[in-house]
Every structure is written in structure tokens, then in C-alpha cells.
Amino acid sequence: SAVISQKPSRDICQRGTSLTIQCQVDSQVTMMFWYRQQPGQSLTLIATANQGSEATYESGFVIDKFPISRPNLTFSTLTVSNMSPEDSSIYLCSVESDSRYEQYFGPGTRLTVT
């Protein structure tokens, strides 16, 4: 399985500001995903990020709020823009293995917005 790292691991931010989360993979992968896990809740897909194309967002998530970059096959960023306390969550990136089924997650970024 791929080794995935995320930066920062946690942050406390003030409302109205933006935070960019980085996701680095130790091997080239085609598909990367960004999920949100609200406190004590399950995981919800924000968007799918393929290299060389625009990210595909799920219902309820928009590019202006969660812009995503995917500059190469090992790296992606998610920005949480104009944050509010409701954005306090764990943000997780994941990658799909060559089998196109197995998906592996990074350690997550714990965001608190005050």
C-alpha cells in the first residue's frame, strides 16, 4: 500500500481565514480523493482529484470553498477558504491503488476554527 503524509497534522485557525492542506504520496497514483470527517461522524467525500484535470466535487461542496490542486501524480492540496466554525473537521486525503478498488488514507489534518 502507498505511504501517505499530510501537512499540517493539525491547526487552529480564525474564522474568515484560509488553510491549505498538503497530501504527499510515496508513489505515483492516478486518483486522489479528499474526504471530510466531522467530529464523531463518518467520512464524506469532498472531491476527486485527477492529475491534469479539474477536480470533481460532490454535492454540497463547491470549488470556491474547497479549491483543489493536483500538479503531479504524487501531490495534491486542498484549501479550506473563508473558514467558519462549521468547517472544524478532520480532512483526509486518500489514494486508489493500481487495483482501482483499494483505497488508502492519509493520517488526516485536524482543523479547528475559532
Pattern 41-80, binding to another protein, x per CB under 8 A? xxxxx--x-------x-x----------------------
Beta strands in the chain (DSSP E): 4-7, 10-13, 19-25, 31-37, 43-50, 56-57, 68-72, 75-80, 89-96, 103-105, 109-113
Torsion angles phi and psi, residue 14, rounded to 5:
-90, 150
> Is 107 one of the binding residues for another protein (CB under 8 A)?
yes
Binder of another protein out of 81, 88, 103, 112 (CB under 8 A): 103
> Is 8 one of the binding residues for another protein (CB under 8 A)?
no
Residues in the chain: 114
> Is 23 one of the binding residues for another protein (CB under 8 A)?
no
Nearer to another protein, 9 or 84 (CB): 9
